[in-house]
Structure 1
Amino acid sequence: MPTAVILLAAGSSSRLGKPKQLLQYQGQTLLRRAAETAVAAAAGAPVVVVTGALHEELLPELVGSPVLAVRCLNWAQGMGASLKTGLFALESACTTWASVIVMLCDQPYVTPVLLDQLEASYIRTGQPIVAAEYGAVRGVPVLFGAEVLPLLHELPNEAGAAQLLRQHPQLVATVPFPEGAIDVDTPEQYAELLRSEALPINRQ
């Protein structure tokens, strides 16, 4: 059974001062890069992109991509609201899927290979939740099996997926992803990302 993907892109980027979804990295916006990663990993399963603070502004970045863009009207309440909006859209679609990966658009080192590793670990371990692990953090991207989707529906609007990982550690398997610690929330972090882009190791 395929794995669907929910890509959360609803925030206002208040700490950054401009939409992080539209920042350029390696010739693409972060949103387009994340959407293409999600589509490649989903391999025909549905991909839902959840917008919020911006919607019309982000749609041009999704043109030609086989994703469903939905707007979370109460995005400002928190990540849980956006996640549940995406989950409702998936469950309303006339498609079949057995698990869902939740990912963000501001982790530029997420790849289809990593998302495939989450799915492989889910199958291999039988654990209903598989999270990326960086340092002492278990977080996104994270896969949820169908058996734990009721927990997502019960998630408070102001909480994120990390709350479920803390509340139910016995249900969680992990996949190492040291680069998961690199995201883009501030101008300094974006500048550091661009500096790293120029390094030879990132030209491959």
Structure 2
Amino acid sequence: MTTSGARIAIVILAAGTARRFGALKQLQCIEGRSLVRRAADAAIATGLPVHVVTGAEHEAVAAQLAEIAVGIAHNLEWTRGMGHSLAFGVRSVVTASPSPDAVLVMLADQPMVSAEDLAELVREHRAHPLAIVAADYGERLGPPCLFPAPHFEALMTLDGDQGARAVLHANRAAVRALPMQHAAVDVDTPEDLARAAAALQKP
């Protein structure tokens, strides 16, 4: 799977400590692959450059990515929350050369999100390059979501626990929503992990 046209960078958030899970959920496995590795593999399959924001247990998370072509951005201030990690990740790719025209944000704890889901977001962006493109869970919007350059500044000023949804809500009229109910499946507890693993095994 390859993409062309505008430069798009993927930023995967994998920095949090996962207090509700009781262990670092990024390292928990489904079908032999950790959640962070599953997310990175899906992102790499798009053919786009991929950057993973790490924080808690940086070395262990980075070790899961050692054999694949991803950039790693270690946020030393990850305890400031998801918003800060997102701002840090976007800043790290936007200040690189060449700077991307858009950033696709995804979370490491959404095991149902596939490479094709990400490609669909990219295709929608190609057709509507000035729009934000977001997954529609049915009752709300959220990651994975793709932001064109005019929204970089807003992303880079996030802090605390306010993540991408804060920018989505502030710019709702500019959002194109793609139905993606399975993206609502995130892993916060061991029970969530078991449910996601069972769902992925269904034909």
Q: Return the TM-score normalized by structure 2.
A: 0.91
Structure 1 consecutive aligned stretches of length 4 or more whose deviation exceeds 6 Å: none
Q: Conserved in 2, the CA contact under 8 Å of 1:128 and 1:148?
A: no
CA distance in 2, matches of 1:99, 1:26: 32
CA distance in 2, matches of 1:106, 1:97: 24
Match of 2:17 in 1: 12
SS in 1 for 2:64: helix
Please tell me whether residue 25 in structure 1 is matched to residue 30 in structure 2: yes
Match of 1:50 in 2: 53
Alignment of 1:187-198 (within 5 A): 187-198=190-201
Change (3 A) 1:77 1:27: same
CA distance in 1, matches of 2:58, 2:80: 17
User: Given the alignment, which residue of 56, 63, 77 partners 2:80?
Assistant: 77
Alignment of 1:51-70 (within 5 A): 51-70=54-73
Match of 1:36 in 2: 41
Alignment of 1:119-130 (within 5 A): 119-130=122-133
Alignment of 1:167-182 (within 5 A): 167-182=170-185
SS in 1 for 2:161: coil
Alignment of 1:69-148 (within 5 A): 69-148=72-151
SS in 1 for 2:68: coil
CA distance in 2, matches of 1:126, 1:95: 18
Paired AA for residue 97 in structure 1: P
RMSD: 1.5
Paired AA for residue 13 in structure 2: L
Q: Conserved in 2, the CA contact under 8 Å of 1:128 and 1:147?
A: no
Aligned residues: 198
SS in 2 for 1:58: helix
Runs (5+) with no aligned partner, structure 2: 1-5
Which stretch shows the higher mean deviation, 71-80 or 176-185? 71-80
CA distance in 2, matches of 1:108, 1:61: 15
Match of 2:157 in 1: 154
CA distance in 1, matches of 2:121, 2:200: 26
Which stretch shows the higher mean deviation, 87-96 or 6-15? 87-96
CA distance in 2, matches of 1:113, 1:196: 17
Q: Return the TM-score normalized by structure 1.
A: 0.91
Q: Conserved in 1, the CA contact under 8 Å of 2:136 and 2:181?
A: yes
SS in 1 for 2:90: helix
Report how far residue 87 of structure 1 moved.
1.3
CA distance in 1, matches of 2:99, 2:158: 23
SS in 2 for 1:56: helix
User: Identity of aligned pairs, percent?
Assistant: 37
CA distance in 2, matches of 1:19, 1:9: 10
Q: Conserved in 2, the CA contact under 8 Å of 1:46 and 1:90?
A: no
CA distance in 1, matches of 2:196, 2:156: 34
